[in-house]
Structure 1
Amino acid sequence: MFMQALATCGRLRLTDPDPNWVMEKMPMPRAMGDMLLLPNGNVVIINGVGAGTAGWERGREPVLTPVIFRPSETVNRFSVMAPAARPRLYHSSAVLLKDGRVLVGGSNPHVFYNFTGVEYPTDLSLEAFSPPYLAPEFNPVRPTIRYVTNNNVLGFRVFCYVTFSVADFVSASDVSIRIMAPSFTTHSFGQNQRMVVLKLRGVTYLGGEAYYATVVGPSTAEIAPAGYYMLFVVHKGVPSSGWWVQVM
């Protein structure tokens, strides 16, 4: 007997003086799912099961369809994506890649590796999920990072210049610069996930398709602990490929 998973999903703003959970309802029930921040601020919910729970042999009804959650929207916050081909149950994982895709892998609901004679065999394969912002129709507004000053180092409260190109530039108000800590995901926890939107001082036109953005490094180590991050330029909601930088 495997109980149906819940379709509820809670969010909490930790910086509120009196934080309270706000509940959302996902398009379908899901347990053991993985949630990852995407460079444009959306969240992908992927992997998992529709019945049962985490643990050896305790999950059924694999959920193959990823879901995109858009926290900035007030209506229609969830979108259902195209289904995957492989079930990803217990011990599956998902991580954000530098090119904006999500690397998905693993699934082993058994005490030991078991590849035959079971309903859900151990799966050591890898797949890549491409979020909607990677569709070719967004190529004209997709930025490409060309250069980051200070030898790719972001100092706390230090000015930095990010040079990028884009074919169809709209306006500076449509540009944001974000850094994302590389995460590692296990047992439905995307540990070390962190996105910091850097303070944008302006965008300057250089000629042709080239621009540079003036940004300020993170304000404190509590906001962005020292270490390596992927820097993304986001234009009209479409991110560039990431660029490795070091916060120190």
Structure 2
Amino acid sequence: MLESHKKLERNSIWLLIFTVVAVSIGGLVEIVPLFRMETTIEPVKGVRPLTPLELAGQDIYIREGCNTCHSQQIRPLRDEIQRYGHYSLAAESMYDHPFVWGSERTGPDLARVGGKYSNMWHLEHLKNPRSVVPESIMPNYSLLATRPVRTWDIADKMKALAAVGVPYTKAHIANAAIDMQIQTLPDEDPTGLQERYGPKVVPQDYGSGDLGSPTEADALIAYLQQLGTQVDFTTYDPDYELKKAPAK
């Protein structure tokens, strides 16, 4: 066996061929299961696609590099759970394209930040982080409160996401622009918006712009405020969720 291995190491062509074969087999073993995503992610009640305003906020979150300093993945370790809350579920990010798990924590993990602070706290934090967190090294993002959020391409973005499996329907896409506006109008009838995205989506004043004319700060705050709020962890039972999943 060792003699055969020596011959392989001394023949660069055969070594290259066997290396490619070994890497290909290993790659297939890792990649093929991902094409059967419905069997690798447990179904969880409450998980929904982002609203148009939240989706715009996620784009801003990525554009500004927030995921460089903030992770969105709570590992199932005691210290992480005590500090941040329930460990992250795969289903919570199943509609994210791209994923924003992050790999570093210069700032705290944001997987459960939704509802932890008020909209005005988030707005002040974006404008001047040190006004609410004196030790923060985060740069100021006051400019976001002056920029109107992009609306003209949100429907096209939702169409693209629907093509890769995000369950946006024709009704979601057709009402994208109006849903984005309604989510920033606290006195507007939310029936249609909630029919499409669930009762937890409540129109509200995010603080930085005129009502009905959302800014980039409004969109980013809306995105942050839904993080970790979709799943009710007081009733979440992983064994029950798996048992009720349809048989494959």
Q: Which bracket does the TM-score occupy, shorter chain normalised?
A: under 0.3
TM-score by length of 2: 0.24
Q: Give the number of the structure whose residues are more often strand, by fraction.
A: 1
Whose radius of gyration is greater, 1 or 2? Answer: 2
Please state which structure has a larger fraction of its residues in helix.
2
RCO comparison, higher one (Cα < 8 Å, 6+) = 2
